[in-house]
Structure formats: structure tokens, C-alpha cells
Amino acid sequence: MRILGVETSCDETAAAVVIDGRRVESNVIWSQIALHRAHGGVVPELAARGHITAIIPVVETALAEANVSKGDLDAVAVTAGPGLAGSLLVGVNVAKAFAFALGLPLIPVNHLDGHIYANWLGPAGAEPSEPEFPVLCLLVSGGHTELILMKSHEERVHLGSTLDDAAGEAFDKGARTLGLGYPGGPAIQETALTGDASRFDLPRAWLGGTDDFSFSGLKTALLRSVEPYRTEAPASVKVVGSPFVEHVAPVYAPGAPIADLAAAYQEAIVEVLAVKAVHAARAHGAKTLALAGGVAASKALRARIVAEIAAQNVDLGFRVPAFEFCTDNAAMIAGAAFHRPGRTGEAIWEIDVHPRLPLFA
């Protein structure tokens, strides 16, 4: 089954063609990072306008790169939520029109399912082996931190989630505090390379006996640790002739231990994620630990999970999507639509956007 996937939930305009949820024929991503960088984060209105400009060329490029014509498609899949309402509307309406015009089924997909099913995608042109159930999935993105036990595609148990900030949000806010820019995860990863994590002892919220997480205390501890070195506070200034405010990064004294703090902060986040995920996998007899979401791109997190599996001496396969399938993309949406086509019966015109769509209703 050849599915065209469309994803516009946040700040990436993406389209992809995937066969049977595994074989990626094309994966086109138009990133808006440059558009939002000056503002220190995603500006919803700018994102929606950006999608409108990009979506048609992105879909056409995805079809061209897959070397297929519209008639070769069996279905269209689109992210219906969660995400920014204005951004989701662009993808859903384009997908609706496309599916209707071609007489194809339209499959609405939960963006979080997309991240999970990135683990079923093969590298370009190849088909991977199926992850073995039960799968313990650690889903870590800009908006979510979830532990999910998948006994099969249909039977899933929600084990825990963050009580406050998501892991990606913690990276983004931490990077802002340190004046490292946006998006925060890659900026912290890069800066941490030259830092010594052992110079700062930042707190870990273990929340023992639960599969939940908390990162807000860590964020505050980072702020306290860096404050003594600050010479100029962060600010928001109005951009002349524009309705937007620009984010101005804080300024730190020369020699401030920014790299050390970045390394200590990154280690604090990935240690809790890795230890708790491997522990949960062991407790529930999982055969596979699957990492998903934008934070799955973290090299430190990947390495820490591998180390933790060895340290806890568990017989556990580790799956992580290729880097291009970790952050937002449309191949994962086409993949999820194949494995969980739960709502295919819905009339095309009734499909709507759901900015707060939960993974577990």
C-alpha cells in the first residue's frame, strides 16, 4: 500500500511517499527554522503562512522524488493533531482536496503515533525488520514525554508522562537560559561537546515508584547556576515596523562556564530518561525499547540508553529511527497510517484538526 503522507503540525512543511509503513520512497522536509530563529521560538502565525507557501511544492517534490504519479497512490495520510491549529489546517485542507480530487481515502493521523512509527521505517529504499513486541516506547519531543507499553499495534498501555515540561521543551528553555539559541536540543548538544559535566551537580527528579518525569526543577537549578555570570538579562524587544517581538539572548561574562553547564544539563535530562525507560522496559518484560520524537536525535540520549541497557543487564533490543525520521517529517505519518488506519471510514469532509488530540483518548 503506497501512502502519501502530509505533515504541517508545527514548523516543518513535509510530504513523503511510503510503502507498507516501512519502505520510504521519498521524504521531503521544508524547515522553517530560519523563519523563527530571530524570535527564539515558533511564531504560530508565521508558521501557518509559511506552510501555505511551501505545501504544494513540497508535495510535488515528494511525488517526483518517489518517481510516482498521483495515480500510483493508494491513500493520503495527514497529521490531524496535536499541533498548532493554523499549521494543521493547511496540511489537512490540502490533503482533503488532494484525496477528494483523486478519489483516494484520507487517513487522519495522530502526530504522536507518527513519531512512534518512525521506528518501523527503513533507511532510504530499505525495509527494516519489525520491532519485536512487547515494545516499550519512550516518546520525547518538544511537547511530549511519554512512556508507552505496546503489546501489539492495537493494545497499548500509557505508563507515564511528564508532570511539567516536556524533555524537548526542557532542552529549548535551557538553551534559551544559556543564550544558545533555537532549537535548543542541537544547540546544547553542540556546546556540551567542549564542556565538563562533572563541574556542576544539577538535580534529577526521579519520582521513584512511578513512570512519570519532571524537568521544571532542573530548569530552575540551571537558571540559578548561571545567574552569577550574567551581565545582561534576556529581553524581548519590539521589531520596528513589525507586529513581532524579537528575543534577545542573555549576555554572560567572558569565561562563564556555559559549555560545562550545557553538558551537565544535557546529562541530567538524558540520565533520568534512560534509567527510567530501561527500568520500565525490564519491569514490563519488553523485548524492544523504541526511542521516538525529536529528542531521539540526541546522541547523548542514544548513548546513555545503550550504556544503561548494559548496566542493568537486560535482554532488550534498542530501536531508534534514522536522524531524518526523529524530528518532524511526513514519512512517519504515512507509516503510522498504514499500521493504525483506525479512522479510515470517516468521510473526507468530516476530518478536522485537533490541536490538543491526545494519544490515549
Of 24-32, 97-105, 179-187, 322-330: span binding Zn ion (CB under 5 A): 322-330
Compute the least distance from the CB of residue 76 to ligand KG4, in Å.
21
Nearer to ligand KG4, 134 or 181 (CB): 181
Q: Grid coordinates representing 334?
A: 504515512
Q: Which of 26, 27, 32, 141 is in the footprint of Zn ion by CB under 5 A?
A: 141
Nearer to ligand KG4, 104 or 334 (CB): 334
Compute the least distance from the CB of residue 357 to ligand KG4, in Å.
12
147 bridge partner residues: 138, 160
Closest CA to 109 of 340, 323, 355, 356: 340
199-208's contacts with Cβ under 8 Å and 24+ in sequence apart are 199/257, 199/260, 199/264, 200/225, 200/257, 200/260, 200/261, 200/264, 201/264, 202/264, 202/265, 202/267, 202/268, 203/268, 204/268, 204/271, 204/272, 205/272, 206/272, 206/276, 207/163
Closest CA to 283 of 164, 149, 189: 149
Q: What are phi and psi of 159, to 5 degrees?
A: -90, -40
Nearer to Zn ion, 149 or 336 (CB): 336
Q: Which of 5, 113, 328, 330 is in the footprint of Zn ion by CB under 5 A?
A: 328
Handedness of CA 267, 268, 269, 270 (dihedral sign): positive
Residues 55-94 that bind ligand KG4 (CB under 6 A): none
Compute the least distance from the CB of residue 326 to Zn ion, in Å.
9
Nearer to ligand KG4, 47 or 75 (CB): 47
Compute the least distance from the CB of residue 103 to ligand KG4, in Å.
31
Q: What are phi and psi of 183, to 5 degrees?
A: -75, 150
Residues 111-130 that bind ligand KG4 (CB under 6 A): 115
- By DSSP bridging, strand 12-19 and strand 23-31 are antiparallel
Compute the least distance from the CB of residue 7 to ligand KG4, in Å.
10
Residue 40 backbone zone (phi > 0: left; psi -120 to 50: alpha; other: beta): left
Nearer to ligand KG4, 10 or 218 (CB): 10
Residues 58-117 that bind Zn ion (CB under 5 A): none
Q: If binding is defined by CB under 5 A, does position 165 make contact with Zn ion?
A: no
> How far is 308 from 312, CA to CA, in rounded Å?
6
Of 17-25, 119-127, 219-227, 293-301: span binding ligand KG4 (CB under 6 A): 293-301
Query: What are the percentages of helix, strand and coil residues in the chain, rounded to 5?
Result: 45, 20, 35
* Residue 155, amino acid: E
Compute the least distance from the CB of residue 170 to ligand KG4, in Å.
8
Helices 44-66 and 85-102 sit at what angle, rounded to 10 degrees? 30
CA–chain centroid gap for 321, Å, is 11
23 bridge partner residues: 19
Site string for ligand KG4, 310-349 (x = CB under 6 A): -----------------xx---------------------
Nearer to ligand KG4, 73 or 359 (CB): 359
- Residues in the interface with Zn ion (CB under 5 A) total 2
Q: Are 144 and 212 in contact (CB under 8 A)?
A: no
Q: Which of 89, 262, 295, 332 is in the footprint of ligand KG4 by CB under 6 A?
A: 295
Of 136-144, 174-182, 337-345, 346-354: span binding Zn ion (CB under 5 A): 136-144
Nearer to ligand KG4, 108 or 293 (CB): 293
Residues 142-201 that bind ligand KG4 (CB under 6 A): 142-143, 168, 171-172, 183-186, 189
CB atoms within 10 A of CB 126: 10
**What is the binding site for Zn ion (CB under 5 A)?**
141, 328
**What is the binding site for ligand KG4 (CB under 6 A)?**
10, 115, 141-143, 168, 171-172, 183-186, 189, 293-295, 297-298, 327-328
